[in-house]
Structure 1
Amino acid sequence: MKVLRQALLGLVAVASIGTASAGEVEVLHWWTSGGEARAVGILKDLLEEEGHTWKDFAVAGGAGSSAMTVLKSRAVSGNPPTAAQIKGPAIQQWAELGLLGNLDKVAEEGNWDTLLPEVVADVMRYDGHYVAVPVNVHRVNWLWANPEVLADAGVEMPTTWEELFSAAEKIRAAGYIPLGHGGQPWQDATIFETVVLSVGGSDFYRQALVELDPEALQSDTMIESLKLFKRLRGLMDEGMPGRDWNMATSMVISGDAAMQLMGDWVKGEFSAAGLTAGEGYLCAPAPGTADSFTFNTDSFAMFRVNDEGAHEAQRDLARLILEPEFQIAFNKIKGSIPVRTDLDMGEFDQCAQQAMQDFKASIDQGTLVPSMAHGMALSSAAQGAIFDIVTSYFNASDMTAEQAAERLANVANSAL
């Protein structure tokens, strides 16, 4: 981000970005799978009903990393999109460069301070001002399963890791892959952070993966977490390298795999396949994490524009995102839950209803933690360094848990 900062500071004066035509919003996002594309289409339709034009700029791959690469390139050239899907600490980094628009007026009119949980609102602000609008809340620490596969193998949905490993033996004996997975660094890190949460609890998770405490990263608890994480590698198939997350979900849908550890965006794929929660697929908090909630919040930031039509379209887009109509319709398709906690969840499936209940409880109990794997906890540099270590350890036969823990601690020491 340092190179980007140097390039962009010279462009802030040019950040008038007046290239958008009246009422047009070019929206950069990475929602390209079947369920995601359906969900973002709702926002597009609502904005166009307001009389504006939505110019779609979708960039697939890498849980958003590819989109961020494109965004940096566009920003360096002085031509960023009008709106972009940005989240976590990256929001603060873009705002610090002076390129994001101020949404305080929309926030005041929409009463965002009351509607949004403070932990989410904090992420959307820079220097006390709203610069982004949250779309949803995803729970990352979920376990998903195909009930027909479990029944055929004669096992129940596991609630502990040992139950999962025991079930996996029977599942494999019945001819199925126990755990569907995509061998990409962010997917490996998703499972890793879930294991850390289950072994160490929310306080340890914060120390290790949010605060980057070197002692926590090299502790016995981390070593235990790494060993458990590595055991899970044995439950996956050898075809996983490079596989996208939705392809792993398709393995569960088709019955090739029994389970998947992934955030609740997978529900968009289940829904697109015509499956119903509790019948066509099962959900449960990942083993050992029922009392905690790892959150990932999608959000949109608006880049500064001079064109009044584009500015008005940005304000309407921000307003529409938090209105009940969009919050309910979008999140039912996307698989997430509304970021507003005041909405009736009666239209949502049982997994979403449980997620909202657990979300509220985790706020009250102090067990709500930001996802490291999904860009909610660390800078992109620190996150990338952890990804490298985690995925190398996961796939290497000659790296011990102790060595991996030492490397994680080195990342923390270099970041301090």
Structure 2
Amino acid sequence: MKAITRLAAAVSLASLIPFAAHAGEVEVLHWWTSGGEKRAADTLKQLVEEQGHTWKDFAVAGGGGEAAMTVLKTRAVSGNPPAAAQIKGPDIQEWGELGLLTDLDDVAKENKWDEILPKQIAGIMKYDGAYVAVPVNVHRVNWLWINPEVFAKAGATPPKTLDEFFAAADKLKAAGFVPVAHGGQPWQDGTVFEDIVISVLGPEGYRKAFVDLDKDTLTGDKMVQAFATLKKLRDYIDADAAGRDWNTATAMVINGKAGMQIMGDWAKSEWTAANKVAGKDYQCLPFPGTQGSFAFNVDSLAMFKLSKEEDRKAQEDLARTVLGSKFQQFFNQNKGSIPVRLDEDMSAFDSCAQQSMADFKEAAKGPGLQPSLAHGMAASSYVQGAVFDVVTNFFNDPAADPKKAAQQLAAAIQAVQ
């Protein structure tokens, strides 16, 4: 029944968009292949097709996009790229440098993208000053998810500072719960470390470290403190964490085995699937010490140069549709993220999403809005990989020295620049 309702909603949304005079084809490479992601992608397809165009789906599952990028490179090198591809962060600039992306400025001006998008995100969508990609959503990375029933049983208080976080962890541990549900995979280790760095160094210190790649910041006392905090946190995860998927860790909190999880807002989709209600069955808090900061991960579609005029028209209509309010609402309610538009009505979203949007807008006014390193927004994949290697090796070595780790971090980043 839900599927029928969603389909009806999608068709209803599509009927609001006028039929295009010149029908073309849009081939879209993406890896939205599971659950709510696929429903949302199917809706985008319907919205485009209702404008008279043909949607050619190019879904490549697995690997968080690595497989899709391999396929895309092969297609691009052969001179046959798709109309749009799911590309994000600094990778957009790399494709722009190859001269393969098309200029979307006419569409952007017509639809006032500079006004409805935060400048920090708009800048990532541009190459050489012109829009070449369209943002789909905003994920917040620095979230702490807690089970209030478990907290009540342990007599623990939801934490706002790192000291309070470890005090709550001690109570959860003493009461027989796993304090922090975690999956021992490099990107998950990196996500936790990233949140700790924002907490300890602040958003501006985080930017110096992971966007500017400033050596003094990377080796400084506060970075050493961040590693020491990560080492302390290691004592509050269970012995079976190695290799665990993030959603399995989320299930530990949902099922009452663990009290907390440090994870981005895609974790919310697991709570929703379990018929849990935000603010009642679970709580979402900014990771302790990161209040006022918002580490973002933005999905986006980069647009490639096409030869046929009708296909270019279809491509432009796709770009308009992605940032249209109807799609922004439907996609983000399915994906757990929030709309990228600052003017979006959030009344239909849950309390976590509403808080996320409020925090997003506030952070966008100053230095608080920062790109996630762990999720490919802050630096190249080479830098990201170097950081993951150092962090994961440190996290898994009980004898590791925080000061030495900070030195290794700077050296590893310098080696791949």
Do these two structures clear the TM 0.5 threshold for a shared fold by scoring above it? yes
Quote the Cα distance in structure 1 between the aligned partners of 2:74 and 2:181.
34
Task: Give the 3-state SS of the residue equivalent to 1:294 in structure 2.
Answer: strand
- Does 2:320 match 1:302? no
Residue 154 of structure 2 aligns with which residue?
153
The 8 Å contact of residues 137 and 298 in structure 2, kept in 1 or not, is answered as yes
* Code of the aligned partner of 1:112: W
Residue 329 of structure 1 aligns with which residue?
330
* Code of the aligned partner of 2:298: T
Bigger mean CA offset, 242-251 vs 314-323: 242-251
Superposition pairs of residues 202-217 of structure 1, within 5 angstroms:
202-217=203-218
Is the alpha carbon distance of 1:174 and 1:382 closer, same or farther for their aligned partners in structure 2, counting shifts above 3 Å? same
* Code of the aligned partner of 1:215: D
Superposition pairs of residues 86-235 of structure 1, within 5 angstroms:
86-235=87-236
Task: Give the 3-state SS of the residue equivalent to 2:40 in structure 1.
Answer: helix
Quote the Cα distance in structure 1 between the aligned partners of 2:137 and 2:415.
33
In the TM superposition, residue 322 of structure 1 has moved relative to its aligned partner by: 0.7
Is the alpha carbon distance of 1:156 and 1:406 closer, same or farther for their aligned partners in structure 2, counting shifts above 3 Å? same
Task: Give the 3-state SS of the residue equivalent to 2:92 in structure 1.
Answer: helix
CA displacement 1:77-128 (0-9 Å, x = unmatched): 4443332111111101101101112212221221212221111111111111
Quote the Cα distance in structure 2 between the aligned partners of 1:51 and 1:239.
52
Superposition pairs of residues 271-310 of structure 1, within 5 angstroms:
271-310=272-311
The 8 Å contact of residues 387 and 413 in structure 2, kept in 1 or not, is answered as no
**Root mean square deviation of aligned Cα:** 2.1
Is the alpha carbon distance of 1:248 and 1:47 closer, same or farther for their aligned partners in structure 2, counting shifts above 3 Å? farther
* Code of the aligned partner of 1:96: E
Quote the Cα distance in structure 1 between the aligned partners of 2:352 and 2:408.
37
Give the TM-score normalised by the residue count of structure 2: 0.88
Superposition pairs of residues 56-75 of structure 1, within 5 angstroms:
56-75=57-76
Is the alpha carbon distance of 1:310 and 1:181 closer, same or farther for their aligned partners in structure 2, counting shifts above 3 Å? farther
Is the alpha carbon distance of 1:272 and 1:383 closer, same or farther for their aligned partners in structure 2, counting shifts above 3 Å? same
The 8 Å contact of residues 383 and 416 in structure 2, kept in 1 or not, is answered as yes
Task: Give the 3-state SS of the residue equivalent to 1:27 in structure 2.
Answer: strand
Quote the Cα distance in structure 2 between the aligned partners of 1:118 and 1:389.
32
In the TM superposition, residue 76 of structure 1 has moved relative to its aligned partner by: 3.5
Residue 411 of structure 2 aligns with which residue?
410
In the TM superposition, residue 166 of structure 1 has moved relative to its aligned partner by: 2.4
- Does 2:262 match 1:261? yes
Bigger mean CA offset, 105-114 vs 87-96: 105-114
Bigger mean CA offset, 299-308 vs 208-217: 299-308
* Code of the aligned partner of 1:233: R
Is the alpha carbon distance of 1:239 and 1:295 closer, same or farther for their aligned partners in structure 2, counting shifts above 3 Å? same
Task: Give the 3-state SS of the residue equivalent to 2:295 in structure 1.
Answer: strand
- Does 2:395 match 1:394? yes
The 8 Å contact of residues 34 and 269 in structure 1, kept in 2 or not, is answered as no
Bigger mean CA offset, 404-413 vs 63-72: 63-72
Residue 247 of structure 2 aligns with which residue?
246
- Does 2:366 match 1:346? no
The 8 Å contact of residues 35 and 271 in structure 1, kept in 2 or not, is answered as no
Is the alpha carbon distance of 1:46 and 1:176 closer, same or farther for their aligned partners in structure 2, counting shifts above 3 Å? farther
Flag structure 1 segments of 5+ consecutive residues without an equivalent. 1-21
Is the alpha carbon distance of 1:366 and 1:240 closer, same or farther for their aligned partners in structure 2, counting shifts above 3 Å? same
* Code of the aligned partner of 2:142: N
Is the alpha carbon distance of 1:392 and 1:316 closer, same or farther for their aligned partners in structure 2, counting shifts above 3 Å? same
CA displacement 1:146-179 (0-9 Å, x = unmatched): 2222223232222222222222233234443222
* Code of the aligned partner of 1:117: P
Quote the Cα distance in structure 1 between the aligned partners of 2:345 and 2:179.
36
Give the TM-score normalised by the residue count of structure 1: 0.89
